[in-house]
């Protein structure tokens, strides 16, 4: 892996998108870093939206302690919410399985097209 995908199709920030709720609000903060070796470190933090009315805030239960609900606080480290995912688009080396298969498919398509012209 060589960091985020370089083609810009996912915007200038690279290739990561955060899960959102039904109102289009992001459920987590993402702190990411491309390391010198091309690997990517991603950390996720709870996003509360405390400026919104209580029923629209992103309150997530972290634990039950003596029958009482304990909620994540805004900015607290957390896992990705259940039923959600991070979409991460990465740049693969030229010799990766994906790139090798893509090139082989292009060659096959070129041969098929040339045969159809003849």
Report which DSSP code applies to 77: B
How far apart CA 115 and CA 97 sit, in angstroms, is: 27
| Percent of the chain with pLDDT strictly greater than 90 | 49
Position 12 scores a pLDDT of 58
**How many Cα neighbours within 13 Å face the side chain of 47?**
17
Residue ranges per structural domain of the chain: 16-89
Convert the pLDDT of each residue in 44-102 to its tens digit.
999 999 999 999 999 999 999 999 999 999 999 999 999 999 888 888 888 888 889 98
């Amino acid at each position: 892996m060589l960091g985020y995908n370089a083609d810009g199709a996912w915007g200038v920030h690279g290739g990561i998108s955060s899960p959102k709720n039904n109102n289009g609000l992001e459920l987590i903060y993402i702190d990411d870093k491309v390391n010198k070796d091309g690997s990517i470190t991603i950390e996720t933090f709870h996003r509360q939206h405390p400026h919104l009315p209580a029923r629209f805030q992103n309150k997530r239960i972290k634990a039950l302690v003596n029958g009482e609900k304990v909620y994540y606080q805004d900015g607290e480290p957390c896992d990705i919410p259940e039923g959600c995912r991070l979409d991460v688009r990465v740049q693969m080396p030229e010799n990766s399985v994906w790139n090798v298969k893509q090139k082989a498919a292009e060659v096959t398509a070129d041969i098929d097209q040339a045969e159809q012209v003849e």
